[in-house]
Amino acid sequence: MDRTLTETPKGTPVGAVHELIERDFLYIGGEWVKPENGRTTDVIYPFTEEPIGRAALAGPSDVDRAVRAARAAFDDGPWSRTTPAERAAILRRAGEGIEARMEELIRLTTLEVGSPIQGVGPQVAVAKIFLDWHADQADTYPWEEDRPGIFSSLLVRREPVGVVGAIVPWNFPLGLTMPKLCPALLTGCTVVLKPPEETPLYAFVLAEIFEEAGLPPGVLNVVPADRTVSEELVKHPLIDKISFTGSTHVGSRIGSICGEQIKRFALELGGKSAAIIVEDADLETVIPKLAPETMRNSGQRCINQTRVLAPRGQYDAVVEALAATIGAFPVGDPTERETVIGPLISEAQRQRVEGYIASGTEQGARLVVGGGRPAHLERGYFVEPTLFADVDNRMTIAQEEIFGPVVAVIPYDGEDEAIGIANDSAYGLAGSVWSADPDRARSLARRVRSGNMGVNQAMLELGGPFGGFKGSGLGREYGVEGIDGYVELQQVTSPASEPLTSELRD
C-alpha cells in the first residue's frame, strides 16, 4: 500500500519520521502501476543517514510503456487539440493543488534533499506562482500570427513539439521540474517525467495533483529511474525532445545521442559563477547580501557565486568580511528555521567536496574558514562552510563546479583583469557585479560571457530567459523564451494580392 505524508498527524515536527513513506507504483497512462522488474530504492534523509521512504524504480520496459502512453496521448488523445485556455485552466487547478498540499511538499522536499527549510518554502511557493504565470500566457503568447511575406501572405503557427522527456536533478527537484512541465503542458505536449532516484517522492505527489486537476491520462507520466535506465528515455525513438538539467558531463552525452537522432534537446548544465566586487562597493552593504548567495542550498546550486573577485586594494577586507559572515552560518538540522547550511545529498557527494577542499590546499590556496566536518554533528553528510583566499583562477577549485559549500576569493587589478578572470571559465551560467554605481555595474555585466547576470544582487528572475553560455548549456528555460522551447514553427502561405512572376515562383 502507498503511504503518503498526508497520513502524518497534524502538528508533527518536519523532521519527525515515524514510518517509511511507501511509493511502490509508477504513474503511467493515468494509472498507478507496479514496475515490471519490481525494483525499489530507499530514499535517505541526509541529516540522519537513514531511510525515510521507499519508491518504485522504473526499468527499460517501464520507460517504454511510459513513452508509448505519452505518444498515444499526444497523437490520439485530446490534449494537443485543446485550446490554450483549456490547458491554462488545468495549470491553474494544479496550482491550487500545490497550494493545498504546500506543507506536505515542503516537509517532503526537506526530508528528501536535506535542504534547509528556510529555502524550501519559497521553492514550493514558486511552483504555484510559475503555474499561474504560464496560465496567464495562454492569452498573450503568439500561437498564430500573420506576417507580411516577401512573395506571399504568411501565417506563422506554433505547434507543440510532441512528447517530451524531462530529466530533473536532485538538488531542487520540484523547483526544477516546473520550468519543464509548465511550458510543455501549456503548449500541448505530453511528458515523461524522470525524477532522480535520490529524490523521487515529490513527483508522485505532483502526479496526484495533476490527476486531480483533470489532466487527461497519459499526458504526464512519472518514472523514477537510475542513470542507466534514464538513457533509455533519451534514446527512445518516440521521444521528440529531451529537456535535461544536470552536470555538463551527462549533458554532453545526451546532446550526442539526440544529435544522432536529430532530436530536439535543451540542456541546463553547470556553473562557476563570478561575483565581481568593484572598488567603490560598500562592503557593509554588499557582504550580507552576497555571502548567502555563495552557498545556498548548502552549496548545491548551479548559480551560486562560488568565485568572488575582489580588487587588490580591498582584498583583505573582502576576505575578512566574508569569513566573518560565512563562518557564522548556522550548520545543522535542515528542519530548523535558523539553519543556513544543511547536509549534502549523500556520502559520495561529501567525499567529492572534501576532495576539492584537499586539492585547494595542495595547490596553494589559503584555507580561511571551514574545510572539515562540523565537530558538533555526529551524523549527517555535512561539510563546514568553507572559504579559500589567495586563489589563482587556474586552480581546480576556481575552475570546476564543486557543488558544495565552498567559495574562492580571487584578487584582481583593474576592471579588464576582473572581466578576464570572470570569463576564464568553461562555464557561463551566472554571475553578478557589485558597485555603488549601478550604471558602472551594468556596463561590466555586459562584458561577462554569462547567460544570467545580476547588478547588486544574484537573484534568478523567473520571468526572463535562464540558461548558459559555453559549457553551461544550450537553450533557455523560464520566461516566454522557455515556452518557445516547446513549440515547432510552421509557416502557412497563400497567394499574395499580386501574382508572383514565374521566375520568382521557381
Question: Could you tell me which of 437, 479, 439, 452 has the C-alpha nearest to residue 304?
Answer: 452
Residue 10: CB atoms within 10 Å: 6
- As a residue count, the chain comes to 506
| CA dist., res. 302 & res. 343, Å (int) | 17
| CA dist., res. 5 & res. 99, Å (int) | 15
CA torsion sign for 42, 47, 52, 56 is negative
Residues 54, 55, 61, 66, Cα dihedral to 10°: 170
For residues 46 and 343, the answer to whether their CB atoms sit within 8 Å is yes
DSSP at 7? G
The active-site residue, picked from 197, 231, 232, 268, is 268
What pairs with residue 280 in β-bridges? Answer: none
| CA dist., res. 462 & res. 172, Å (int) | 15
The active-site residue, picked from 211, 302, 354, 401, is 302
Active-site residue, 211 included:
no
Residue with cell 490520439: 76
Three-state SS at 447:
coil
| CA dist., res. 464 & res. 477, Å (int) | 8
Residue 445: CB atoms within 10 Å: 21
CA torsion sign for 476, 477, 480, 486 is positive
List CB contacts of 152: < 8 A, sequence separation 6 or more. Answer: 493, 494, 495, 496, 500
Three-state SS at 211:
helix
For residues 115 and 297, the answer to whether their CB atoms sit within 8 Å is yes
What pairs with residue 158 in β-bridges? Answer: 489
Give whole-number Cα distances, 117 to 47, 121, 212, 261, 340, in Å: 12, 6, 27, 42, 9
| CA dist., res. 457 & res. 430, Å (int) | 11
Q: How many CA atoms lie within 13 A of 204 on its CB side?
A: 26
Active-site residue, 293 included:
no
Q: 271 φ, ψ to 5°?
A: -150, 160
Residue type, 207: A
Angle between helices 438-445 and 415-423 (to 10 degrees): 40
Question: Could you tell me which of 489, 486, 490, 488 has the C-alpha nearest to residue 242?
Answer: 486
List CB contacts of 482: < 8 A, sequence separation 6 or more. Answer: 179, 183, 465, 466, 476
Q: Which positions are catalytic?
A: 268, 302
